[in-house]
Structure 1
Amino acid sequence: MGKMIYVPTAGAQSWQALLADPTKQWPTGYSARTLAHCWEAAEGLPPEIAALFGSDTELLIAIPEHKVSLRDTGRESQTDVFALVKSSNRTIAVAVEGKVNESFGPTISDWYVDASLRKQQRLAFLCELIGTECPPPGDIHYQLFHRAASAILEADRFKTDDAAMIVHSFAQDRRGFDAYAAFLDLFELAAEAGKLVSKTLPHGRTIHFGWAQGDPRFLSL
């Protein structure tokens, strides 16, 4: 379980200390630094994020590098930004994954090689939670599973109406979009940049997915 007491940031630089590797992950042009400057500059939600949800969307709170327990003894899922958002009188627990040129990490096949019992149990839990078959296709990226699960788990914890997983990308060539689209295909959803798509899960929770294209000016800050 991560820390339960949070303090306001003092600007983008405050985000650096929260990273798993504050030195390696903070160079100019990398997603962590770019995302921090973008969100700190916004009065509320960055416009490309707000556009996904609609004109009446309001940011209630945003927490950088938010750790979410996956209900086992393994490593927590560290969400780049966790936000509570109000849209059309519904509250939404939003897990944001920032990207520039970074990949979504290992595929299920790579992550699951010689899987321990703990990994087997974790994957089964994630698949059940997000409503996909287990084991899932091996070419889907593991990070997308635990990031979507984080949104659902926090929606349950905060008792919000919906959950959402958003990729906030600053890559000008939309690198990683195909991986995101392949993940959405598991839900029989068609991925489209700048558009929110939704799925009602077997347990009744609605989860939204979106790909937001970030402003490239933050890449140089």
Structure 2
Amino acid sequence: MSKFYVPSQGPESWKAFLADPEKQWKEGYSAYELAHCWESSANLPMIVENVFKESKLPIFDDVEMLYGFPEYKVAIPGGNASSQNDLYVIAKVKNGLLTIMVEGKVSEPFGETVDLWLGNNPSDGKRKRLNYLLSLLRLHENHITKIRYQLLHRTASALIEAKKVNAKNSLMLVHSFRHEAKWFKDYANFVKLFDLTPLENNIVGPIQLDGINLYFGWVTEVR
């Protein structure tokens, strides 16, 4: 993946980075909704700023978005191709930098559960990748078989990028565009692995992994 990026000309610029633009770029789909919501904001989307402030966590009192990278690829050991995060944000906070991996959601799930992703005869690459994720997130395999693999990857991506820029804080944020917060239960089951109590429209944490304060958040956009 190139390390060079060009300025966005608006939401339509995001379309080119999708794996299947004609299928994924439609009103009511997460990629489309996320692009239009974040591009129309002077800093962070209002709902995100409100949830940050209402969390009562000091680090989220004053978050300034510096850069955003749509469809950002993060390589994980054991994989031939990098998985794409819907949006990677580097933000400035009081004590330094905060990396945010934003996962947009409307109707689509968080992909396969870990056991289905692995299959009955997992390749050496998949086994290597899973072991890396488990080590990074300090989790045990027997606890994550029914967890959605995508949640593991997005959280790992936030931590990996935090290490790259020496950020002490990182957030995995789900930005939902469904009133009923579809798939929140999957998110909640994942966050509970870290002995946290997830809530809709809230930020929880931190837990500390390799010197990085890791937070989790869910925001439901009413549009």
Shift, 1:197, TM fit = 0.8
- The 1:117–1:152 alpha-carbon spacing in structure 2 relative to 1, beyond 3 Å, is same
Give how far 1:88 is off: 2.8
Point out the more displaced range, 200-209 or 115-124.
200-209
Separation in 2, partners of 1:124, 1:72? 9
Taking the aligned partners of 1:60 and 1:215, their CA distance within structure 2 comes to 25
After TM superposition, list the pairs within 5 Å mapping 1:69-218 onto structure 2: 69-113=75-119, 114-216=121-223
User: Aligned letter for 2:149?
Assistant: Y
Give the Å deviation of 1:185: 0.9
Instruction: For 2:139 and 2:154, locate their aligned partners in 1 and report how far apart those are by CA, in whole Å.
Output: 14
Distance between the aligned counterparts of 2:189 and 2:205, measured in 1?
Answer: 15
Tell me by how many angstroms 1:198 deviates. Answer: 1.3
Cα RMSD for the two superposed structures? 1.4
Q: Give the whole-Å Cα distance in 1 for the aligned partners of 2:209 and 2:42.
A: 36
- Report the CA distance between 1:33 and its aligned residue: 0.3
Structure 2 letter corresponding to 1:80 = D
Equivalent-residue separation in structure 1 for 2:20 and 2:45 (angstroms): 25
Contact residue 123 and residue 135 of structure 1 kept, 8 A: no
Q: Distance in 2 between matches of 1:198 and 1:27?
A: 34
The alignment status of 1:62 with 2:68, answered yes or no, reads yes
Q: Which amino acid aligns with 2:16?
A: A
Which amino acid letter does the alignment assign opposite residue 11 of structure 1?
G
Q: Distance in 1 between matches of 2:49 and 2:70?
A: 17
The answer on whether the counterparts of 1:124 and 1:135 sit within 8 Å (CA) in structure 2 is no
Q: 2:166 & 2:142 partners in 1: Cα distance?
A: 29
Question: What TM-score do the two structures reach when normalised by structure 1?
Answer: 0.93
Please give the alpha-carbon distance, in whole angstroms, between the structure 2 residues aligned to 1:66 and 1:47: 23
Give the aligned partner of residue 48 of structure 1.
47
1:99-134 deviation per Cα after TM superposition (whole angstroms, max 9, x unaligned): 001100100111011211111110010011111112
* Contact in 2 for aligned 1:53/1:87 (Cα 8 Å): no
CA contact (8 A) 2:78 2:124 kept: no
Question: Aligned partners of 1:90 and 1:189: how far apart in 2?
Answer: 24
What is the CA-CA distance between 1:202 and the residue it aligns to?
A: 4.4
What is the SS of the residue equivalent to 1:95? strand
Structure 2 Cα separation of the partners of residues 60 and 211 of structure 1: 21
Q: Is there any run of 5+ residues in structure 2 with no aligned partner, and where?
A: 54-60
2-structure distance, mates of 1:28, 1:124: 37
Matching residue's letter, 1:85: A
Q: CA deviation at 1:178?
A: 0.2
- The TM-score normalised by the length of structure 2 is 0.92
Shift of residue 3 of structure 1?
A: 1.9
1:186 maps to amino acid: L
Taking only the aligned residue pairs, the percentage that are identical comes to 39
User: SS at the partner of 1:172?
Assistant: coil
2: CA distance between counterparts of 1:81 and 1:137? 24
The structural deviation recorded for 1:159 is 1.1
How many residue pairs align between the two structures?
A: 215
